[in-house]
Amino acid sequence: MSSERNSPPDQGSPEKPRRSDEEMQRKRARDRRSQKAMRDRAKWTVDSLTEQVRSLSEALEVQTHRAAQLDFRVHNLQHENSQLRTEVAAMQLQVTEAMRPVEHSSTLSSISTISLSPELQEWQKFPLNVPPTCLADQIFQGLLSSQFSGHLSEMIASSPPDLSRLIESSASRGGDANDVILDIVRSYTEIDSLPQQVAVHFVMFSLARWMLLQNKESWDGMPTWLRPIQEQLSTRHPAWIDRLPWPRVRQYLIRHPNIRLDDFAAVYSSSFDVCWGYNPRAVLISSKETVHSRDRMVINPVYEEHISQLVNWKWIEGKGPSATYSLAGSATPGLSINDLVEISNDKTSTLTALDFHHVKLGLGPMEGSTALRRAVAALYTHRKPWITEDHILTAAGTTGSNLMVFQSLLKAGDHVVCTYPTYEQLSKYPLAQQCEVSLLRLQPQNGWKVDVKELKGLITPNTKMIVINSPSNPAGSHVDEETQLQILEAAKEQGIIVLVDEIFRPLFHGVKPAPSFVEHDYDRVVVTGSMSKAWGLSGIRVGWITTRNQSFLRLLVNAKSYIVQATGSIDEAIAAEALSDRCRGAILGKHLEYARDNLASIQAFIDRNSDMCTWTKPTAGAIGFIRLTQPSGSPLDDVEFCQSLLETKGVLFSPGSLTFGEAGDETMKGYVRCHFTGRPQYVSEALALVDEYLSELRSRS
């Protein structure tokens, strides 16, 4: 047995290996055939699917084209339907008017008589209108006819208007003042967002209610900015002007009757905004009542409060994009991430800081990131009392910072003293909070500086806050350290809060830089700032509030929790790096160099045109206020000047009377705001074109 196991294999038997080779070859052949069959099937499947995709794509393209055609037809039909509804309403008014007994005097006639009557209360003075100049005016003015006054006055005073028709396609029921106003609103096809439509209805309905009821209660219920100004009471004008929210725009249009509705309406209706940053549908809420088996939809009280504040109405004319050269802005040129890396004195560290792949995109700290708050604290001079990160709260830009301060520290009935001219939010938002506001007027003959004696004269026993913009927008002046101490001493006597918008700090030109207001012993001081003006990072929307008053900070943090909760983590990281020791000095130095070169160019421009141009040379900030006069010495119409300059030369300035002046204030007439922290070559080219324009004006005078 053992010998058999150990004997060598039989070398003379090759059949078994030969059979194995043949089987392997046959298997390989079968595999090749199978693989080929699989490839053929796959190719057929791919070709088949490709053909199906092509057919489906063609069918989808056809259906998409048909859907687009249907959408277009629906849009046209909706527009025609709106026009027909307004025309029907106008015809109904005409027919009813024709049937009205002659002996009945109309409400419209009585309003005209009242408007001209002397010694009346404010609420008894109505706008002086010319006969209707458009279909909307025909309908709106028709609402004031006597045949409606009793019935409609009762209806318009009874309950909040039902706005359901703004979100559904139901037809007008007619005979209802609210329905007629809704028809007018829906006929404005360019006003297509629900927040805008509700806002326009709010204005028209508020005005109609007062003019129908003719009582003090309805007058008090109107926003103060909607009440007629002097020009509306003394000069006959089209009724559509009365329905515009901005008093200064109404004043300008009445003073320039050559501007027609057709010229104005398309620009206005397609470019105004009400700054509602929430769900558009949230502007309406359902009431408990039902009408025709559906819920009544009424304006959300939160939204009503929002649009009752004029600061939330914006008119973005779109002039900037049409300008070849815009000197109307105020921010330094925007920087990119690459610009920050390039300008850094430690590019590796900046690249690491701006690598956002590791940044957790959850909700950041309520107060703002520690890195950013430390970087902001470094902007203040190193002297007692020390400013640290514990004194700083981040916010959504300086506008958001100011908003939080006003909402946290003011209440209705407080008295506020605010410098003027200034960024409008600073003077208008307290008014929207039903505060009393006194304007501390800065005078050009005094270098646009704060007169502390005049300030003290405006302070009353209930003065809660002094509001200052330093460096100044639009004048380019600043409050020096000595004046700061005088202002704070006056505030300290009554414990008045001092709010200073320091968005243009630390841009100082040819003068000793002033400290921040917050760097003094008095602690009831709040200052605001942001990355926009001096730092070239408007797009990241990062601002801050600085105060050493801990009770203020607690109130501000509470307000922030309801408004924005936290600023964006990536935005804060970019801001922190821009304000780091690696980048801060280079960014500021670059922008101060721009300002130095441009101020020299603008001064030379003013010297060349001294018969028509004067200014107080700015000592801080990014803008200056230039006064334009006729060769005779009378001020130019700054709005007309800016419009004509833009149209003929492509250069845009900000008109001072329209942008900064109060309604009826002639002292701002002739002023334009000029930006001087842009790129020097750009500014020089723009000024050369303004030179040409002024020469043309002289030749025509």
The mean pLDDT value for 7-35 works out to 65
pLDDT value for 623: 96
pLDDT value for 214: 84
Identify which has the larger pLDDT, 11 or 351. 351
Q: Which residue has 């088996």 as its token pair? A: 293
Task: With cut-offs at 50, 70 and 90, classify the pLDDT of residue 556.
Answer: very high
Each residue's pLDDT tens digit, 134-182? 877 887 777 666 444 445 555 555 567 888 888 876 555 555 677 778 8
Q: Of 583, 604, 628, which residue is a domain's last? A: 583
Are residue 420 and residue 520 in the same domain, yes or no?
yes
The CA distance from 24 to 19, in Å, is: 9
Neighbours of 334 (CB within 10 A): 12
Each residue's pLDDT tens digit, 432-464? 888 999 999 999 999 999 999 999 999 999 999
pLDDT value for 448: 96
pLDDT value for 15: 52
Show the tokens assigned to 315. 């008119």
Show the tokens assigned to 238. 């089209």
Mapped onto helix, strand or coil, the DSSP state of residue 305 is helix
Are residue 564 and residue 636 in the same domain, yes or no?
no
Closest to 405 in 3D by CA, of 523, 491, 501: 501
- The DSSP secondary-structure symbol of 281 reads G
Q: Of 583, 618, 648, which residue is a domain's last? A: 583
Mapped onto helix, strand or coil, the DSSP state of residue 518 is helix
pLDDT value for 103: 38
Closest to 489 in 3D by CA, of 461, 439, 524, 541: 524
Identify which has the larger pLDDT, 197 or 78. 197
Q: β-pairing, 294-299 with 392-395?
A: unpaired
Radius of gyration of the chain (CA): 35
The CA distance from 355 to 369, in Å, is: 16
Contact partners, residue 604, CB within 8 Å, separation at least 6: none
Mapped onto helix, strand or coil, the DSSP state of residue 586 is helix
pLDDT value for 163: 86
Are residue 576 and residue 634 in the same domain, yes or no?
no
Cα 507 to the center of its chain, rounded Å: 24
In the chain, the number of structural domains is 3
Identify which has the larger pLDDT, 179 or 298. 298
The CA distance from 526 to 242, in Å, is: 39
Are residue 297 and residue 365 in the same domain, yes or no?
no
Closest to 410 in 3D by CA, of 438, 393, 433: 433
Identify which has the larger pLDDT, 507 or 124. 507
Neighbours of 474 (CB within 10 A): 26
In-domain check, residue 66: no
Rounded alpha-carbon distances, angstroms, from residue 561 to 275, 501, 543, 577: 20, 22, 16, 25
Cα atoms in the 13 Å half-sphere on the side-chain side of 529:
26
Task: With cut-offs at 50, 70 and 90, classify the pLDDT of residue 2.
Answer: very low
Judge whether residue 76 has pLDDT over 80.
no
Judge whether residue 231 has pLDDT over 50.
yes
In-domain check, residue 8: no
In-domain check, residue 256: yes
DSSP 420-456: ES--HHHHHHHHHTT-EEEEEE--GGGTT---HHHHH
Neighbours of 189 (CB within 10 A): 14
- Averaged pLDDT of the chain: 83
Closest to 531 in 3D by CA, of 346, 678, 332, 344: 332
Task: With cut-offs at 50, 70 and 90, classify the pLDDT of residue 80.
Answer: low
Neighbours of 129 (CB within 10 A): 23
145, 89 contact by CB (below 8 A): no
Task: With cut-offs at 50, 70 and 90, classify the pLDDT of residue 323.
Answer: confident
The CA distance from 477 to 617, in Å, is: 8
Q: Of 583, 606, 629, which residue is a domain's last? A: 583
Each residue's pLDDT tens digit, 558-613? 999 888 888 889 999 999 999 999 999 999 999 999 999 999 999 999 999 999 99
In-domain check, residue 541: yes
Neighbouring-strand partners of residue 440? 419
In-domain check, residue 605: yes
Are residue 533 and residue 617 in the same domain, yes or no?
no
Are residue 257 and residue 348 in the same domain, yes or no?
no
**Size of the chain, expressed as the number of residues it contains:** 701
Rounded to whole angstroms, the maximal C-alpha distance in the chain is 145
pLDDT value for 95: 45
The CA distance from 422 to 500, in Å, is: 12
Each residue's pLDDT tens digit, 508-528? 999 999 999 999 999 999 999
Show the tokens assigned to 119. 């010694």
Judge whether residue 62 has pLDDT over 80.
no
The CA distance from 591 to 576, in Å, is: 18
Are residue 296 and residue 152 in the same domain, yes or no?
yes
Closest to 184 in 3D by CA, of 144, 140, 215, 219: 140
Task: With cut-offs at 50, 70 and 90, classify the pLDDT of residue 271.
Answer: low
Show the tokens assigned to 392. 């700083």
Show the tokens assigned to 618. 């700015």
The CA distance from 307 to 473, in Å, is: 25
Are residue 282 and residue 399 in the same domain, yes or no?
no
The CA distance from 333 to 399, in Å, is: 19
Most confident of 129-143, 311-325, 667-681: 667-681
The CA distance from 314 to 311, in Å, is: 7
Each residue's pLDDT tens digit, 603-642? 999 999 999 999 999 999 999 999 999 877 889 999 889 9
In-domain check, residue 284: yes
Q: Which residue has 């500014």 as its token pair? A: 683
Judge whether residue 373 has pLDDT over 80.
yes
Q: The domain spanning residue 625 has which CATH number? A: 3.90.1150.10
In-domain check, residue 548: yes
How far apart are the two ends of the chain, measured CA to CA in Å?
136
Identify which has the larger pLDDT, 22 or 443. 443
The mean pLDDT value for 692-698 works out to 92
Are residue 518 and residue 629 in the same domain, yes or no?
no
pLDDT value for 68: 66
Q: Which run of H or of E encompasses 193?
A: none
Identify which has the larger pLDDT, 675 or 262. 675
pLDDT value for 508: 97
Are residue 614 and residue 528 in the same domain, yes or no?
no
pLDDT-above-70 percentage for the chain: 82
Judge whether residue 554 has pLDDT over 90.
yes
The domain in which residue 537 lies consists of 337-583
Judge whether residue 465 has pLDDT over 90.
yes
pLDDT value for 52: 78
Phi-psi region of 664 (alpha: psi -120 to 50; beta: other; left: phi over 0): left
In-domain check, residue 71: no
Contact partners, residue 56, CB within 8 Å, separation at least 6: none
Are residue 256 and residue 369 in the same domain, yes or no?
no
Each residue's pLDDT tens digit, 277-289? 778 888 998 876 5
pLDDT value for 19: 59
Q: Identify each DSSP E strand in 454-601 by its residue range.
A: 463-469, 497-501, 525-530, 543-546
Q: The domain spanning residue 509 has which CATH number? A: 3.40.640.10
Its pTM stands at 0.67
Identify which has the larger pLDDT, 80 or 249. 249
Cα 58 to the center of its chain, rounded Å: 44
Are residue 480 and residue 613 in the same domain, yes or no?
no
Judge whether residue 6 has pLDDT over 50.
no
3-state secondary structure 78-131: HHHHHHHHHHHHHHHHHHHHHHCCCCCCCHHHHHHHHHHCCCCCHHHCCCCECC
pLDDT value for 595: 97
Judge whether residue 107 has pLDDT over 50.
no
pLDDT value for 133: 85
pLDDT value for 74: 67
The mean pLDDT value for 359-372 works out to 90
